[in-house]
Amino acid sequence: MRFLQIILTIYIFVSFTTNKNIAGIYKSKNKIGGEATLMLSEKDSTYDFQFNPYDLARSNSDGTWHLNNDTFILNSYYQPVQVIDSYHFNSDSLLIKVIDEKSIPITYFNCSLTQSARKLYLLPNSKGELFSPNIYFDSIVISSIGYHTISFKIKDPSINFYEFQMRSANYLYFTSQLFFLKRKKIYLADSKFPSLKFSKK
């Protein structure tokens, strides 16, 4: 028992020391990939990523990270499909609401409901609400200028109310996004961000 306690203490100490040594602000700047900043916090294992390509608008992402050997694994707080609420209510219609990051209704968006090979295209009312005959649909696709498109697979046909949250197209979704640590530099393993090599500041 004493031996296990010693091993656990060493493991915790090494993990804390490692995180403390690699935490900080990293920057990348080159003629191909643009400018980027990666801030890693060891206190709460959170990150903030800012990407400024030379030919596009600035993008950002925030969330949590952990280190597996020499690989950082990042997961953003927000993921591509944000279902805020869903339930069944007593109605013969399907009701869809869409809000933005500040919980403000989005009053203009395009929605396509798919049932096998059939598609139904609808627009919301002035309150950002969309009503449809409550037939069984397979999927929902919602798009609006300046936001990420939502593609949602319906699993429970009895649910007839959905509230989705759309995020700015400039927000970067990270789902187990890999960054590699090599010789005190961090490399982003993703073809969407070419030639990004981060050095600690």
What pLDDT digit, counting tens, does each position of 21-34 carry? 788 999 987 766 67
Q: Predicted confidence band at 8 (pLDDT cuts at 50, 70, 90)?
A: very low
Q: Token match 């109605």: residue? A: 91
Residue range(s) of every CATH 2.40.128.50 domain in the chain: 2-77+171-200
CATH superfamily of 82-165: Immunoglobulins (2.60.40.10)
Q: Which residues contact 150 (CB under 8 A, 6 or more apart)?
A: 80, 81, 82, 140, 141, 142, 143, 164, 166
What kind of fold does domain 2-77+171-200 have according to CATH?
A: Lipocalin (2.40.128)
pLDDT tens digits for 120-158?
999 999 888 999 987 789 999 999 999 999 999 999 989
Model-level pTM greater than 0.85? no
Residue range(s) of every CATH 2.60.40.10 domain in the chain: 82-165
